[in-house]
Structure 1
Amino acid sequence: MKKTILFLSLLSSVYFYSQDFSGINKILEKIEEKGKKIKDASNYELKSKKFVLVEDFEDHAERHVLELNADGTLTLIELIDDKSSGQSFSNIFTGDYIRKKNAVSVNANFLEGKKIAMPLVYNLYIMNAGDIWYLKDINTNKRWIENNNLIKKKK
């Protein structure tokens, strides 16, 4: 009798767990469908484009300008404005980038012509919202907006 009850409880638990897994599979399918709706940026040309990231902190403000050149190299200009003293500092990094479909890997390993021990590395994803193209940092979710979108057009 005990074996029969144990066997029936085992069968019923497998039946109920299989229903839960089918529900999880349905949820995963919905997530994958939403992921497929992300716009393919394979035709978007990155060469000779500039992207800007602006960050404001309590004691300073930072502006980063990322210029992607046609030959696979890049220039990253970092401008730091000290709020207390009013002074500005700049760093110019150079390096290269690699693009694979919507993903861009940035490696800035030279600071003003001298190789640095720890290069700046960004993993970015090309995104589009309306007519605005931007790069989204995969690790920090910061957005590098294309420079053309920051310039106000006079009508």
Structure 2
Amino acid sequence: MKKMVLLATFVLSVFHYSQNYAGLNDLLEKIERKNKKLKDASDYSIANKKFVLMEDFEDHSERHILEFGADNKITLIELIDDKSTGQSFSNIFSGDYIRKRNAISVRANYLEGKQIATPIIYSLYLMNANDIWYLKDINNSKRWIENNNLIKKNK
């Protein structure tokens, strides 16, 4: 009797989870369709390009400038403007990056020439919308827009 109850419970749970699996499968298909529309950026060179991220907080504002070198080196400039005092602070990080198609992994492990204990790491995805290239942070969805596009907008 116990075996029959366990078997029935197992069969019902498999049936229940298979319904959820069908929903997950549909969701994955939607994601695949969306990703197929994304442009492959393998031809696009990020060497000697700058990308900018701007953030505004209540007490300060931050500008991050990420410059990619031709030899897989990066320079990350962090500019912090304190709103209460009007002072500006900057940090200059350096490190390297690895790129595989649209995915870019950035590691900044030097602060003004001195190695730091905990490096700054970004996992970015290179994207294009309306001929504007930008990097999207995979972890928090922040967007780094290419510097040339900022200059075009200001003119």
1:147 maps to: 147
> Bigger shift: 76-85 or 26-35?
26-35
1:43 and 2:13 equivalent?
Answer: no
1:129 maps to: 129
Runs of 4+ in 1 over 2 A off after TM superposition: 16-31, 152-155
Which structure: larger Rg?
A: 1
1:101 maps to: 101
Letter in 2 for 1:92: I
- Return the offset for 1:18: 9.5
Q: Gaps (5+ residues) in structure 1?
A: 1-5
- Return the offset for 1:29: 2.4
- Return the offset for 1:30: 3.2
Structure 1 residues 120, 19: closer, same or farther in 2, change over 3 A? closer
Equivalences for 1:1-155 in 2 at 5 Å? 20=19, 22=22, 24-152=24-152
Q: Gaps (5+ residues) in structure 2?
A: none
Distance 1:81 1:38 in 2: 36
- Return the offset for 1:154: 8.4
- Return the offset for 1:26: 4.1
Structure 1 residues 104, 23: closer, same or farther in 2, change over 3 A? closer
- Return the offset for 1:152: 3.0
Identical-pair percentage? 68
Distance 1:88 1:24 in 2: 48
Letter in 2 for 1:54: M
Distance 1:116 1:24 in 2: 42
Normalized against structure 1, the TM-score is what? 0.83
- Return the offset for 1:108: 0.4
Distance 2:84 2:110 in 1: 29
SS in 2 for 1:150: helix
- Return the offset for 1:31: 2.8
Normalized against structure 2, the TM-score is what? 0.83
SS in 1 for 2:151: coil
Distance 1:133 1:150 in 2: 11
- Return the offset for 1:19: 8.3
